[in-house]
Chains A and B, each alone.
Chain A
Amino acid sequence: MNDTILSVENLHVRYGKVEALHGVSIAVPAGAIVTVIGPNGAGKTTLLSAIMGLLPSQGTIHFAGETITVPDVEYLVQRGMALVPEKRELFGEMSVEDNLILGAFQRYRKGDRSISETLDEVYQLFPRLKERRTQMAATLSGGERQMLAVGRALMGKPKLLMLDEPSLGLAPLIIREIFRTIARLREQGVSILLVEQNARAALQVADIGYVLETGEVTLAGPAERLANNPQVIETYLGMSKRQEKLAAVSA
């Protein structure tokens, strides 16, 4: 547990002249759920994209015992990193099952032929996907698309799963299902880096939390402690009585 699967130190990312991340440092212990919360435009998506090598960045990244000098998406996928991006990036005109199978492309390439077993596991996790296996991904409902995006990432048997707002636009019932799945994945030994707007649910499931504001980490610590931090409560957990009741029911 005290092994660190991912550590990012002093990461800077700029879009043209504007710097979006000003020296962000975070660490994900192996087997833990780490969440990054923060307001819109804080740079959460930027952080995940830079770690994955989708954006050029400056700083130090260690992943699975290796120093990554120039992050390269294909290489990182091969080493066991997976990202479920904010836009999901599904293969819309291909079937649900083809989407899932493609999630295992790197494994297949390395000669791993146990893909159908992983497919069964993913179908067990998301029975809804099995019912819709021949349907085109573009015609799925929002919740089903989310499940497919997560399932597709799991097909690669990642060591580290990065999720960018998995609860985006979903009904409370499905959000609960997704968070339960995330907790279950930790039991299976997958480390998770979770970016969320839904701070309450995220801090509940996570072991460690970071608060990212305008490109800087402003707070960090055990998730429980963050959830009780007055500042966090006021900005991120403060909600109306009605919402609080709803959250209590779903918890």
Chain B
Amino acid sequence: MDWSIALILTQDGVVNAAIYALLALALVLVFAVTRIIFIPQGEYVSYGALTLAMLELGKTPATVWLLVAGGAAALALEAFAHFRGRSVPWREALFWYAALPLITLLLTYALEWQTAPQWARMLLTIALIAAMGPITYRIFYQPIAEAPVLVLLIVSVAVHLALVGLGLLLFGAEGYRTEPLWDERFSVGPLLIPGQAFWVIGASLALIALLAWFFSRTLYGKALRATAVNRNGARLMGISPNLAGRLTLLLSAAIGAISGVLVSPITTLYYDSGFLIGLKGFVAAIIGGLASYPIAALGALIVGLIEAFGSFWASAYKEVIVFTLIIPVLFWRSLTTHHVEEE
């Protein structure tokens, strides 16, 4: 290996690391607020990428019907809760589970997406997948929100498997790659950097900055932090765990969709590709102890670089190398962190 190869591998690693960092942030956020280890995070990535691919090909992405069906199921659950005497926040329920899915459906059918500019297709895709977040929370997690972490994890695994299966049904087994936002290539020394790489890194950094602003400056961001710090205290302020859960999964689905549309011009994605991408984000999140955002971002950089160099030296084993990383990390964490008792 010489310097130019090392540089190329580094470039590769950094671009992927940006995506892993986003997903790690989403995973840390979801765990802190809801205690859910959110295995299906990666599915939003593949759903995002494939939805965008469908729009590009002039097909109707079947995800929009999944969204409408999910919304209907969520509404049915709310109606059921209503008849059992619970107070249901109908205004929000109607917005998230009926209005938003129907508006997305309308937009998908009303406009000619194949000839639309790529950024417009990306925005529709992000809106469509992000809208799935609150619905996922309502259907699968809200009924068991007070359950132990292990139960929530088992449900996460089930939701992940269901979404991968649905992905095969909705998109087929074929892989897709989408048009890049920026077709140009830039040669810097030995490197030939695709414009999309700048997009990935730039958009990731911008999104991270936006999230930092959201959590430190806005009341809703503070409310999510408050829920993470003290659930009972937050409830007494009228911050319902359900509201926090909906909002958190909205963010996590949006982050997943954005990651999906960012990487799809670089990598061919299949209905089940999201899982491995999400898992690498998960390794990064674990390096941060599922609690620290900056360490998780650093972890993402480590994962990205190890993966890039691993694929050069032993490409068949690159996944194994990345996931083996989790063992020393867990060992190190078990030595350095204090055990925090649940609840």
Contacts and interface: CB of A to CB of B under 8 A. Distances in A.
A242 to B, nearest CB: 38
- Among B230, B232, B233, B240, max chain A CB count under 10 A is at B233
Interface string A44-75: 00000000101000000000000001101111
Interface string A66-102: 0001101111011000110101011111100010011
Nearest to B239: A105
A94 B225 contact: yes
Interface in B86-139: 86-87
A74 B86 CA distance: 12
B222 A89 contact: no
A152 B239 CA distance: 14
Contacts of B85: 69-70
Contacts of A82: 236
B5 interface: no
B208 interface: no
B238 A77 contact: yes
A105 B238 contact: yes
Nearest to B85: A70
Interface string A95-117: 00010011101101100000000
Interface residues of A, number: 30
Contacts of A102: 219, 222-223, 226, 234, 237, 239
Contacts of A43: none
B87 A70 contact: yes
Contacts of B86: 70, 72
B237 A103 contact: yes
Interface residues of B, number: 20
A105 B236 contact: no
Nearest to B219: A108
A38 interface: no
Contact of B236 (A72, A89, A109): A89
Contact of A156 (B87, B230, B238, B240): B238
Contacts of B232: 54, 85, 87, 89
- Among B85, B229, B234, B238, max chain A CB count under 10 A is at B238
Contact of A105 (B87, B230, B237): B237
B235 interface: yes
B222 A94 contact: yes
Given A90-B230, A92-B229, A98 B222 contact: yes
B223 A91 contact: no
Given A75-B87, A91-B233, A106 B219 contact: no
B6 to A, nearest CB: 41
B238 A78 contact: yes
- Among B222, B226, B233, B237, max chain A CB count under 10 A is at B237
Given A101-B219, A102-B219, A102-B222, A74 B238 contact: yes
Contacts of B222: 94, 98, 101-102
Contact of B226 (A83, A87, A91, A156): A91
Given A69-B85, A70-B86, A102-B223, A93 B229 contact: yes
Interface of B: 85-87, 219, 222-223, 225-226, 229-230, 232-240, 243
The 10 tightest CB contacts between A and B, nearest first, are A77-B238, A89-B233, A106-B238, A74-B240, A91-B229, A72-B87, A105-B237, A73-B235, A91-B226, A75-B87
Interface of A: 52, 54, 69-70, 72-75, 77-78, 82-83, 85, 87, 89-94, 98, 101-103, 105-106, 108-109, 152, 156
9 contacts: A70-B86, A77-B236, A89-B232, A94-B226, A98-B222, A102-B222, A102-B234, A102-B237, A105-B239
